[in-house]
Amino acid sequence: MAQERIGKAFERIDAALARIDLAADRIASSPPSGDAMNAAKDSLKGELAGTLRDLDALIESMEQ
């Protein structure tokens, strides 16, 4: 069961990293306005924070 949770956590991390890469490519190809850039940055920060919370919870559960 723990291995399955670890695998799913890594899948979520990989998916988040792929979305970050895609967003970075979009920004690099056509610089957005300041508002669009701030919105994209906030969105990515939220995704990253959620993924890190998931990873922290997984690590904590494995330590118990």
Residue 57, pLDDT > 80, answer: yes
Q: What pLDDT shows up at residue 32?
A: 61
Report the SS3 class of residue 5: helix
Q: What pLDDT shows up at residue 31?
A: 64
The C-alpha atoms of residue 16 and residue 59 are separated, in whole angstroms, by: 18
State the pTM of this model. Answer: 0.50
CB 2 within 8 A of CB 60: no
Read off the pLDDT of residues 6-45 as tens digits, 9 standing for 90 and up: 888 888 888 888 888 888 787 777 666 778 788 888 888 8
Q: What pLDDT shows up at residue 55?
A: 87
> Would you list the domain boundaries of the chain?
2-63
* DSSP symbols for 18-55: HHHHHHHHHHHHSPPPHHHHHHHHHHHHHHHHHHHHHH
